Amino acid sequence: MVRRFRGEGLNKVDSKGRVSIPALFRRVIEVCDPAWTEGLHPELVIVYGDNRKKFLECYTIDAIDEVDEKINDLPRGSIQRKMLERLFHGQSFPTSVDDTGRLVIPQRLREKIGIKAEAYFIASGDTFQIWSPETFQQDQEKTNAWLQSLPEDFDPLIYLDASDRKIDE
C-alpha cells in the first residue's frame, strides 16, 4: 500500500533546529519505513542538493529506496548516474522523528532555505517539502497568478486526462 502525504502546516523551530512534523505526516513516515515498529524512531531522508529548489525535499524510506533503485539501473559512469548519486546520496541527510514528533533541521540547511523561527510544511505526494514561510508565500503567489490567468470555469483536473498529449504550461 503506497501512502501519500496530504495537507500542510506551519510550526515553530527552536534554537537547536527542532521542529514538529505535522501529525498526519508522521503516520505516513512510520508506515513507509519498513524497519519501523512501535517504540522505534521512524526514519526519513532530507534531500537538499538541487540549488534551484528553495525548499528541502523529505523522502520516506520507501520513496528514497525507489529513487535509489532507479539510480542503480543507470549505467555506471554515466553523467546521469553521477549527478543523481551526488544529489540523492551525497547531498542528503538521513534523520529520524523523535518521540515527540520532531526532527532536527541542521543549521546549514536552515540557512540554505532561510528558515528562522518557523518552518512551513506542505505535502507533495510521496514526499513533503519544508519551506521558509516567506519563500513559500512568494511561490504560492506565482501559483495564484497562474490560476487567475485561466478561465473561471477551468478545471485543473483536466491535466490528469492529458497524460498522452502535450499540455500548455
Cα–Cα distance measured from residue 32 to residue 167, given in angstroms and rounded to the nearest whole number: 32
Total count of domains within the chain = 1
Is there a contact between 17 and 111 (Cβ–Cβ < 8 Å)?
Answer: no
pLDDT for res 162: 62
> Is 97 inside any structural domain?
yes
> Is 118 inside any structural domain?
yes
Give the count of beta carbons closer than 10 Å to the beta carbon of residue 92. 19
Pairing of strands 8-12, 92-96: unpaired
Q: Average pLDDT, stretch 15-33?
A: 95
Is there a contact between 143 and 153 (Cβ–Cβ < 8 Å)?
Answer: no
pLDDT single digits (tens) 79-135: 999 999 999 999 999 999 999 999 999 999 999 999 999 999 999 999 999 999 999
> Is 162 inside any structural domain?
no
Average pLDDT over the chain reads: 92
The domain spanning residue 92 has which CATH number? Answer: 3.40.1550.20
> Is 168 inside any structural domain?
no
Q: Is 131 helix (H, G, I), strand (E, B) or coil?
A: strand
Domain that holds residue 48: 8-136
pLDDT single digits (tens) 1-17: 458 999 999 999 999 99
Q: Describe the chain by its helix, strand, coil percentages, rounded to 5.
A: 35, 25, 40
Q: Average pLDDT, stretch 133-152?
A: 92
pLDDT for res 168: 52
Total count of residues recorded for the chain: 169
Query: In this model, does residue 163 exceed pLDDT 90?
Result: no
Nearest residue to 32 (alpha-carbon basis) of 2, 70, 69, 57: 2
pLDDT for res 160: 85
> Is 47 inside any structural domain?
yes
> Is 96 inside any structural domain?
yes
pLDDT for res 161: 75
> Is 27 inside any structural domain?
yes
Pairing of strands 102-104, 18-20: antiparallel
> Is 76 inside any structural domain?
yes
User: Considering the chain, what percentage of its residues have pLDDT values greater than 70?
Assistant: 94
